[in-house]
Amino acid sequence: MVTGGLGFIGSHTTVELQQKGYDVVILDDCSNSSEKVLDGITAITGKRPIFEKLDLKEKADVVDFFRRHVDIQGVIHFAASKAVGESVEKPLLYYENNINTLIYILQELTQKEKASFIFSSSCTVYGQADEMPITENAPVKTAESPYGNTKQMGEEIIYDTCKVTPQLKAISLRYFNPMGAHPSAEIGELPIGIPQNLVPFITQTAIGLREQLAVFGDDYPTEDGTCIRDYIHVVDLAKAHVVALQRLMEGKNKENYEVFNVGTGNGSSVLEVIESFERVSGRKLNYKIVDRRAGDIVQAYADTTKANKVLGWKAQSSLDEAMKSAWLWEQKVRAN
Ligand SMILES: NC(=O)c1ccc[n+]([C@@H]2O[C@H](COP(=O)([O-])OP(=O)(O)OC[C@H]3O[C@@H](n4cnc5c(N)ncnc54)[C@H](O)[C@@H]3O)[C@@H](O)[C@H]2O)c1
């Protein structure tokens, strides 16, 4: 079961799961996606996943779903609201959607004889970490936004539940900065409204949908003065989910709740990301340096040793490869 499977990361993970032979059931309420994504998944894999349009905030519907699908063995839970700024404006909406849905699913899974659960967490749990690269042992800092808090609370809820439910096995994957699209350009990121993330903002600016990219601050204590993040190709990220799920389903986990960073281990500055775009597209990007934006941390990139060694997973794609896929996708979307 893949919740939020029509979304950006969920759709790419569904592709990787199907390509490994898993039968996938997608649950999504299409609040931030479209049913057309199913066509893209089908075009890549040759197999249409089962899809149920369902709002996971409706507890009775979640209960009913699990009654009808007693054979569900693993759940990857992507469904959530994810816009940091909006979460500050509408905290209760974020707590309701990101926490209630998690609780309803866990309530069902704890009644099963055996279940595996993967949770979409985020490097936001680390805030501005004191040391780079960031290991899983870095302290979780006070969340900067209700969105970030839902990820911290989500992890705690899973931890507490696993502690008293030995038959439930869970992994939280702390994503760094997902970007890019499937190389086939059949699926990709489809931000509704103004993109929150750098890469879709770059590609939308280049295609003419936005006038100019604002680079928030070039006076940070980094080499070129712009903020540094760890950009990971969404296909690499999707593969990490398959490996994590396999680990749980094959009983290879050391504890019944584990946490892994999922990043590349490399930090790239905003200007380096822009350069990558200009290199792979052959176009100049219209951007302007403006003042710093409140709440931005200076740098965050992962120590991926644990995922590399324990999961046997490593990101394969370079920033340029990921950027190329993002640009191809943007061009395809706008041509349609
Ligand atoms: N994209 C990122 O940069 C990033 C980084 C770290 C963590 N995450 C987390 O990864 C997960 C997936 O992110 P994404 O970028 O693919 O987001 P997305 O918005 O593209 O996908 C989320 C999907 O969940 C669905 N959904 C939301 N609420 C639902 C509900 N109540 N019932 C059913 N479906 C619902 C949406 O319609 C959407 O298709 C989220 O939990 C997000 O917080 C994302």
In terms of phi and psi (left: phi > 0; alpha: psi -120 to 50; beta: otherwise), the region of 127 is left
How confident is the model at residue 334, as a pLDDT? 86
Per-residue CA distances from 176 to 66, 127, 257, 265, 299 (Å): 31, 12, 20, 9, 11
Measured CA to CA, the distance from residue 276 to residue 289 in angstroms comes to: 17
- Range scoring the smallest mean pLDDT among 35-39, 55-59, 262-266, 295-299: 295-299
Q: Is the dihedral of CA 322, 324, 329, 334 positive or negative?
A: positive
- CA angle 103/106/111 to nearest 5° reads 135
Q: What is the mean pLDDT of the chain?
A: 97
- Given pLDDT bands bounded at 50, 70 and 90, which one contains residue 277? very high
295 pLDDT band, cuts 50/70/90, is confident
Average pLDDT over residues 283-287: 98
Q: How far apart are CA 94 and CA 88, in angstroms?
A: 9
Torsion of CA 175, 176, 178, 179, to 10 degrees: -170
Q: Residue 333's pLDDT band (boundaries 50, 70, 90)?
A: very high
Question: Stretch 157-175: mean pLDDT, rounded?
Answer: 98
What is the average per-residue pLDDT within 88-111?
98
91 CA from centroid of ligand 1 (Å): 16
**Is any atom of ligand 1 closer than 6 Å to the C-beta of 56?**
yes
Over 80: is that where the pLDDT of 182 sits? yes
Q: Which atom of ligand 1 is nearest to the CA of 177?
A: 3
pLDDT > 90? residue 97: yes
d(CA 176, CA 229): 8
Over the stretch 21-61, which tens digit does the pLDDT of each residue have?
Answer: 999 999 999 999 999 999 999 999 999 999 999 999 999 99
Instruction: Mark whether 287 is an active-site residue.
Output: no
> How far, in Å, from the CA of 331 to the mean position of ligand 1?
23
The protein residue with its alpha carbon nearest to ligand 1, atom 29, reads 79
Mean pLDDT of 87-108: 97
Q: Which of 94, 126, 147, 301 is catalytic?
A: 147
Alpha helices in the chain (DSSP H): 8-19, 37-45, 59-68, 84-89, 91-95, 101-109, 146-163, 198-207, 234-249, 270-281, 305-306, 319-335
Q: Three-state SS across 79-132?
A: CCCCCHHHHHHCHHHHHHHHHHHHHHHHHHHCCCCCEEEEEEEEHHHHCCCCCC
pTM of the model: 0.98
